[in-house]
């Protein structure tokens, strides 16, 4: 266990290795934690101190016989045993627990025979000849006092050069046999022209599956297809909430726009005039409560062509790309005697998704409920935000394709998090300070995790993040249930506010590529001075998404319903599973306030299509569970190459090759070094969430395979779980990293087994007030102090 003692304050120093030494003396201590309360557990489930080592050199090193110690007078205090863990490849990390045990635990983790002092001491790595290679604390001084679950070490800021990634060119072939062996992975190889090679960009794969979500649907469209000669007033011909759609042509397409969605009706596979028509029949007799939408069944459009394979198409554009929608079509004609049959599909993905086959109705059997003669299905919009619905008549029947109405709802989205931003010190006590379902969140909670989502708050443009607690807005109507949400908030403050100052909310651990609905609530009832204007964006992707270009609130107009003072938008999580929301002042006024943040969605995250640049569905699905993929690239001159990394999203496996040499594999059916068969499949399936999560693979041990004087090849034997599987994905990013070590710092986010971040130099003590909080009836002076030397105190009144 850690030797915790935090009453001593010592000066300290740390040896900084010169860059040339880092390459020569490969293993170094990069990070340690001397007060591990809950960060990293050992094989027994205990939280012991730990030490991270990193091989910064170009060659592997065997640490067997090397030493770790906390005593400069006893450099041989603990010796590395000869195990598989003692062999450290270039760029590889090793974590050793400093528990005092001295022996490996049940999970095989190495344990030193000493613990670290949180109050400060020495930490030394010595080689087999007892020469000090790396240390923290030297010349009789000690490393500084440590804090619970905060690590200490050397920042490892990096420059990154992407060698292959999303948008890089790739050539893919579904192999017919073993004719190439592994020669296709080598430099100078080209696939012959007769093997159906598919050229495109990363990622590669396909998705024939349909995703879904989970809470309340959002209405998008309600269309009643009317006869052109029918009455035009909705009160007469359309049920409440439905809009009329009338054809302008019976031989060509008709396009009408409803809000953001354009709806085009066109004949399908027709040979000339008379392709479409419409009719107005008598409406069925209403039969409440089962049949209330009787007016939807009276008139319709239909395919007037009786040729085999003809029908009609409805194309919806302007939808959310990759989003799941609930679709309901009504198809009925009381004037058509006997059974009428048709087949209905959705075609926007390039592959028919069956909605109903066959669908049938009998015109002599009128509907008796709103759910009669309904085709209902969940569909997924294409990457361009379209749906293409097709109805085709059954052979041998005269007319069969009729369309009375179309309902479209955005599929349910489940609640992910609901945050109520509260004043850290002045909020009311108990549940009265928030609303049911909301999680109180303060500035002090920044960096913590709520319902699996990590939430980090930061300021922009030199502003300072602060909070306030105001009076609760009056609960003036039954539609206003969130009055406690609008009383307190966080905000971006500055003595001299300016345009561009603001705050940022970073949400991490989301499902990569998933659709989310984001709601922000922004209001301050105590903010005088008229309108406050701000600009809100989401910036996790390459192109910022505007959430509100001109959001304005005024303290004199308090919210009176749950929909007031809100910013709402649909957004997609980045490929890393994050959203980065920014609000900035639109002018020189404090205007960026945040009462609450709500996030719904993630349920449609199974859609691979936003990540696919090369579609392999036609070439691969039903043909082979394997694909050969290769990219060629050159190493730019003077590229820093301290580390080589491969970040990959995949479903369901692969073997990776660099210039003909196997460098990594996942879920492959053969042993390492043995190429899988041309028609091999992965040994395990992966769920969509795992497939879209980026896996980081360290390839530094293979960086010497690269050439800086010509073509390099990154190749993959891609493996699906089955040739008939409904989706497949491979998206790699190969990067060259250059590392720059700096003065040791504290890390509030420790990274055992990974590169360190920027860190912080230290921590400041909380300000102390010369007067207690409370109510006063006369002016008085307040003095603010802090025990931290050199600290600046910022305050507002």
The CATH code of the domain that includes 573 is 2.60.120.430
For the stretch 670-703, pLDDT in tens is 999 999 999 999 999 887 777 877 888 989 889 9
Spell out where 190-323 has E strands. 198-201, 204-207, 216-225, 243-245, 254-258, 261-268, 276-280, 299-303, 311-317
Mean pLDDT over residues 468-495, rounded?
83
* Angle formed at CA 127 by CA 124 and CA 128, multiple of 5 degrees: 135
Select from 697, 721, 739 the last residue of a domain. Answer: 739
Residue 64 has pLDDT above 60, yes or no: yes
Task: Name the range with the highest mean pLDDT among 367-371, 424-428, 618-622.
Answer: 618-622
For the stretch 186-206, pLDDT in tens is 999 999 988 999 998 888 999
Which of 489-493, 517-521, 548-552, 751-755 is predicted least confidently? 751-755
Which of 367-371, 424-428, 461-465, 497-501 is predicted least confidently? 424-428
CA–CA distance, 748 with 771 (Å, rounded to integer): 32
Q: Which pLDDT value is given to residue 400?
A: 75
Q: Which pLDDT value is given to residue 236?
A: 52
For residues 567 and 561, is the Cβ–Cβ distance under 8 A?
no
Mean pLDDT over residues 64-90, rounded?
93
Task: Name the range with the highest mean pLDDT among 14-28, 391-405, 514-528.
Answer: 514-528
Examine the domain organization and report whether 221 and 101 are in the same domain: no
% residues pLDDT > 70 (the chain): 89
Mean pLDDT over residues 653-664, rounded?
97
Examine the domain organization and report whether 146 and 198 are in the same domain: no
For residue 318, being part of any structural domain is answered with yes
Examine the domain organization and report whether 690 and 593 are in the same domain: no
Which residues, in sequence order, are CB contacts of 352 under 8 Å at separation 6+?
345, 346, 390
For residue 789, being part of any structural domain is answered with no
For residues 125 and 61, is the Cβ–Cβ distance under 8 A?
no
For residue 10, being part of any structural domain is answered with no
Examine the domain organization and report whether 673 and 589 are in the same domain: no
Residue 11 has pLDDT above 50, yes or no: no
For residue 780, being part of any structural domain is answered with no
Examine the domain organization and report whether 439 and 572 are in the same domain: yes
Mean pLDDT over residues 508-512, rounded?
89
For the stretch 160-174, pLDDT in tens is 788 998 778 899 999
Mean pLDDT over residues 291-314, rounded?
86
Select from 747, 769, 787 the last residue of a domain. Answer: 747
Measured between its terminal Cα atoms, the distance across the chain in Å is: 46
Task: Name the range with the highest mean pLDDT among 25-39, 210-224, 462-476, 752-766.
Answer: 25-39
Examine the domain organization and report whether 129 and 33 are in the same domain: yes
Domain containing 540 equals 420-454+466-492+507-601
CA–CA distance, 629 with 204 (Å, rounded to integer): 9
For the stretch 147-163, pLDDT in tens is 999 999 988 766 678 89
For residue 52, being part of any structural domain is answered with yes
Domain harbouring 622, CATH code: 2.60.120
Q: Which pLDDT value is given to residue 2?
A: 40
Q: Which pLDDT value is given to residue 293?
A: 87
Q: Beta strands 299-303 and 276-280: pairing type?
A: antiparallel
Examine the domain organization and report whether 663 and 554 are in the same domain: no
Examine the domain organization and report whether 649 and 707 are in the same domain: yes
Select from 601, 618, 633 the last residue of a domain. Answer: 601
Which residues, in sequence order, are CB contacts of 402 under 8 Å at separation 6+?
300, 301, 302, 331, 332, 333, 336, 340, 342, 361
Tokens of 189: 């190889």
For residue 790, being part of any structural domain is answered with no
CA–CA distance, 618 with 195 (Å, rounded to integer): 14
CA dihedral 494, 500, 505, 506 (to 10 degrees): -130
For the stretch 411-457, pLDDT in tens is 777 788 999 999 877 655 444 578 888 999 999 999 999 988 999 99
CA–CA distance, 415 with 451 (Å, rounded to integer): 10
Asked whether the bond before 597 is cis by omega within 30 degrees of 0, the reply is no
For residue 115, being part of any structural domain is answered with yes
DSSP assigned state of 217 = E
Q: Which residues of 237-264 are buried (b: 16+ CB within 10 A; e: fewer)?
A: bbbeebebbbbeebeeebebebeebebb
Q: Which pLDDT value is given to residue 607?
A: 62
Q: Identify the residue whose tokens are 């040979």.
A: 271
CA–CA distance, 402 with 386 (Å, rounded to integer): 22
Mean pLDDT over residues 615-634, rounded?
94
Higher per-residue pLDDT: 395 or 627 = 627
Number of neighbouring beta carbons within 10 Å of residue 187: 12
Examine the domain organization and report whether 369 and 450 are in the same domain: no
Provide DSSP, 542-604.
SS-EEEEEEEEEETTS---STTTTEEEEEEE--TTS-EEEEEEESSSS---EESEEEEEE-TT
**Mean of the per-residue pLDDT values of the chain:** 85
For the stretch 82-120, pLDDT in tens is 998 888 888 889 999 999 999 999 999 999 999 999 999
626 exposure class (CB count in 10 Å sphere: 0-12, 13-18, 19+): buried
Residue 24 has pLDDT above 80, yes or no: no
Q: Which pLDDT value is given to residue 692?
A: 78
Higher per-residue pLDDT: 352 or 103 = 103
For residues 643 and 158, is the Cβ–Cβ distance under 8 A?
yes
For the stretch 783-797, pLDDT in tens is 888 887 777 777 766
Residue 55 has pLDDT above 60, yes or no: yes
Asked whether the bond before 762 is cis by omega within 30 degrees of 0, the reply is no
The pLDDT confidence band at residue 17, using thresholds 50, 70 and 90, is very low
For residues 722 and 681, is the Cβ–Cβ distance under 8 A?
yes
For the stretch 381-417, pLDDT in tens is 888 889 999 998 876 566 779 999 999 998 777 788 9
Three-class DSSP labels, 372-404: CCEEEEEEECCCCCEEEEEEEECCCCCCCCEEC
For the stretch 211-252, pLDDT in tens is 333 345 678 999 999 988 755 444 457 888 999 999 988 888
CA distances from 721 to 193, 209, 414, 671 (A): 28, 15, 29, 17
Contacts 24+ apart (CB under 8 A), 288-295: 290/368, 290/369, 290/370, 291/367, 291/368, 291/369, 291/370, 291/372, 292/239, 292/370, 293/239, 293/370, 293/405, 294/367, 295/224, 295/237, 295/238, 295/239
Spell out where 155-247 has E strands. 156-164, 169-173, 198-201, 204-207, 216-225, 243-245
Asked whether the bond before 327 is cis by omega within 30 degrees of 0, the reply is no
Examine the domain organization and report whether 428 and 537 are in the same domain: yes
Higher per-residue pLDDT: 742 or 116 = 116
Q: Which pLDDT value is given to residue 8?
A: 30
Number of domains in the chain: 4
Please state the separation of Cα 732 from the chain's center in Å: 16
The pLDDT confidence band at residue 460, using thresholds 50, 70 and 90, is very high
Question: What is the edge-to-edge ordering of all strands in the sheet holding 299-303?
Answer: 276-280, 299-303, 402-403
CA–CA distance, 474 with 549 (Å, rounded to integer): 29
């Amino acid at each position: 266990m850690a030797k915790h003692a935090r009453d001593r304050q010592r000066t300290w120093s740390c040896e900084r290795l010169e860059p040339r030494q880092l390459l020569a003396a490969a293993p170094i201590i990069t990070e340690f934690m001397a007060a591990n309360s809950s960060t990293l557990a050992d094989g027994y489930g205990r939280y012991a101190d730990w030490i991270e080592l990193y091989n910064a050199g170009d060659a592997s090193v065997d640490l067997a016989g090397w030493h770790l110690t906390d005593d400069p007078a006893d450099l041989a205090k603990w010796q590395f045993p000869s195990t598989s863990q003692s062999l450290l490849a270039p760029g590889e990390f090793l974590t050793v627990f400093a528990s005092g045990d001295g022996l490996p635990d049940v999970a095989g983790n190495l344990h030193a025979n000493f613990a670290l002092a949180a109050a400060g001491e020495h930490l030394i790595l010595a080689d087999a000849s007892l020469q000090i290679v790396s240390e923290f604390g030297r010349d009789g001084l000690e490393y500084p006092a440590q804090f619970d679950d905060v690590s200490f070490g050397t920042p490892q800021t990096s420059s990154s050069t992407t060698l292959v990634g999303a948008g890089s060119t790739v050539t893919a072939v579904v192999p017919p046999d073993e004719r190439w062996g592994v020669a296709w992975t080598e430099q100078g190889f080209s696939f012959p022209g007769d093997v159906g090679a598919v050229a495109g960009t990363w990622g590669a794969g396909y998705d024939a599956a349909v995703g879904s979500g989970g809470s309340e649907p959002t209405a998008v469209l309600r269309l009643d297809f009317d006869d052109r000669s029918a009455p035009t007033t909705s009160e007469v011909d359309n049920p409440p909430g439905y809009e009329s759609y009338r054809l302008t042509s019976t031989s060509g397409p008709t396009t009408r726009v409803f809000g953001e969605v354009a709806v085009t009706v066109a004949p399908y596979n027709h040979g000339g005039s008379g392709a479409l028509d419409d009719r107005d029949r008598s409406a069925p007799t209403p039969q409440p409560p089962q049949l209330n939408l009787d007016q939807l069944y009276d008139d319709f459009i239909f395919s007037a062509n009786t040729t085999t394979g003809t029908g009609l198409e409805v194309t919806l554009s302007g939808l959310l790309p990759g989003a799941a929608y609930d679709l309901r079509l009504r198809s009925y004609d009381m004037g058509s005697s006997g059974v009428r049959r048709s087949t209905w599909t959705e075609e926007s993905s390039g592959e028919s998704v069956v909605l109903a086959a066959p669908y049938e109705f009998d015109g002599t059997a009128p509907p008796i409920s709103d759910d009669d003669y309904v085709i209902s299905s969940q569909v997924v919009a294409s990457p361009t935000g379209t749906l293409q619905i097709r109805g085709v008549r059954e052979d041998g029947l005269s007319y069969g394709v009729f369309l009375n109405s179309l309902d479209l709802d955005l599929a349910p989205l489940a609640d992910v998090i609901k945050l109520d931003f509260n004043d850290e010190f002045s909020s009311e006590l108990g549940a009265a300070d928030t609303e049911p379902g909301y999680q109180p969140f303060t500035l002090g909670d920044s960096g913590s995790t709520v319902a699996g989502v990590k939430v980090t708050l930061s300021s922009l443009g030199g502003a300072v993040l602060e909070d306030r607690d105001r009076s609760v807005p009056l609960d003036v109507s039954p539609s206003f249930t969130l009055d406690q949400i609008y009383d307190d908030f966080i905000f971006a403050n500055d003595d001299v506010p300016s345009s561009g100052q603001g705050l940022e909310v970073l949400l991490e651990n989301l499902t990569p590529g998933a659709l989310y609905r984001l709601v922000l609530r922004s209001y301050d009832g105590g903010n005088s001075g008229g309108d406050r204007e701000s600009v809100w964006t989401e910036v996790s992707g390459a192109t910022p998404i505007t959430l509100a270009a001109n959001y304005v609130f005024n303290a004199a107009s308090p919210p009176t319903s749950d929909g007031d003072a809100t910013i709402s938008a649909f957004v997609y999580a980045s490929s890393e599973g994050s959203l980065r929301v920014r609000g900035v002042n639109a002018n020189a006024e404090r205007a960026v306030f945040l009462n609450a943040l709500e996030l719904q969605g993630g349920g449609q995250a199974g859609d691979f299509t936003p990540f696919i640049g090369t579609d392999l569905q036609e070439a691969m699905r039903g043909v082979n569970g394997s694909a050969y993929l290769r990219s060629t690239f050159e190493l730019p001159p003077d590229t820093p190459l301290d580390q080589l990394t491969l970040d990959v999203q995949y479903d369901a496996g692969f073997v990776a090759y660099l210039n003909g040499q196997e460098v990594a594999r996942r879920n492959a059916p053969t042993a390492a070094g043995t190429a899988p068969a041309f028609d091999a499949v992965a040994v395990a399936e992966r769920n969509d969430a795992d497939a879209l999560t980026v896996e980081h693979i360290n390839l530094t041990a293979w960086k010497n395979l690269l050439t800086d004087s010509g073509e390099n090849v990154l190749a993959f034997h891609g493996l699906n779980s089955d040739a008939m599987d409904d989706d497949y994905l491979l998206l790699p990013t190969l990067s060259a990293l250059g590392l720059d070590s700096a003065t040791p710092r504290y890390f509030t986010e420790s990274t055992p087994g990974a590169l360190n971040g920027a860190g912080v130099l230290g921590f400041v003590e909380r300000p102390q007030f010369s007067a207690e909080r409370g109510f006063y009836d006369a002016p008085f002076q307040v003095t603010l102090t802090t025990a931290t030397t050199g600290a600046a105190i910022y305050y507002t009144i």
